[in-house]
């Protein structure tokens, strides 16, 4: 099962926010870190269902953590984030 790397951020007086460097525009949040991570898997699957219909492109393939760590943009985004691997439960054919 593929995994997507997620970045989890929390500011004072806010929820835990989750974003995916490989899937721009897809994000979620939760009151606890466990809730946020649980919702992350759901939002990935939901986004993949209609991605090609909305964007006209295949759902982005996940990069490995090593590939991401060599990306300066990821380094900046991850500087103050918790980094987590979120399982991708959608159909395998949705991943390019």
Half-sphere exposure of 46 (CA within 13 A, CB side): 10
What is the rounded distance in angstroms from the CA atom of residue 85 to the CA atom of residue 38? 11
Residue ranges of E strands in the chain: 3-10, 16-19, 27-30, 82-87
Q: Is 72 helix (H, G, I), strand (E, B) or coil?
A: helix
Question: How many structural domains comprise the chain?
Answer: 1
Which pLDDT belongs to residue 23? 94
CATH number at residue 24: 3.30.160.250
Give the per-residue pLDDT at 53. 66
pLDDT value at residue 57: 82
Q: Look up the domain containing 45 and give its range.
A: 3-94
Q: Can you tell me the distance from the alpha carbon of 78 to that of 55, in angstroms, rounded to the nearest whole number?
A: 26
pLDDT means per 10 residues in the chain (96 residues)?
94 94 95 94 90 77 95 94 89 46
| pLDDT of the residue at 89 | 79
- What pLDDT sits at residue 56? 72
């Amino acid at each position: 099962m593929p995994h997507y790397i997620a970045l989890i951020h929390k500011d004072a007086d806010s929820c835990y926010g989750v974003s995916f460097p490989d899937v721009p525009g897809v994000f979620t949040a939760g009151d606890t870190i466990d809730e946020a991570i649980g919702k992350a898997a759901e939002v990935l699957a939901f986004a993949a269902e209609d991605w090609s219909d909305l964007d006209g492109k295949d759902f982005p393939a996940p990069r490995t953590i090593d590939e991401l760590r060599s990306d300066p943009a990821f380094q900046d985004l991850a500087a103050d984030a918790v980094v987590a691997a979120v399982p991708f439960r959608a159909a395998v054919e949705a991943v390019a």
